[in-house]
A = this chain, B = another copy of it.
């Protein structure tokens, strides 16, 4: 968690751009205390014969799905803040270069999630801080 799945047209991004995009995404979550390795980004290059927006072949649209597990946006104000900040990151790698975009976030159950055989520590717990500092899953006792 979070998992970003990015559907994009063929040749929309160089490898370097994908890496920069992935890094900006990680920065957003790391600034909230999440371990960097929680963030996975998968890019799918989709040919226009397999990608349709409004029923028309699409070669100028980036469609992103985001699964949130470890942190679920809280009250309305926080959700708006999350929505805007994520929109700002995406805009840099889409609208700014002439691509249209859409994203949505899904929330999935916190207790049906594992990394490397471990249940990730509670949000903001001391163990989560250790995971963030070490940037890997480490056996821990409940805080």
Contacts and interface: CB of A to CB of B under 8 A. Distances in A.
Interface of A: 1, 3, 7, 15, 18-19, 22-23, 25-27, 35-46, 49-55, 57-58, 61, 63, 65, 67, 69, 73, 76, 79-80, 82-83, 86-87, 90-91, 95, 100-109, 111-117, 119, 135
Contacts of A119: 83
Interface centre among A55, A101, A111, A113, by most chain B C-beta atoms within 10 angstroms, is: A55
A100 to B, nearest CB: 6
Contacts of A3: 63, 65, 104
A87 B106 contact: no
Contact of A50 (B42, B87, B101): B42
28 contacts: A1-B104, A7-B40, A18-B50, A19-B52, A26-B54, A27-B55, A35-B54, A36-B55, A37-B53, A38-B54, A39-B52, A40-B51, A42-B52, A44-B44, A54-B135, A76-B111, A82-B112, A83-B112, A83-B113, A87-B114, A91-B117, A95-B117, A101-B116, A103-B113, A104-B112, A104-B113, A104-B114, A105-B113
Given A109-B107, A113-B103, A52 B40 contact: yes
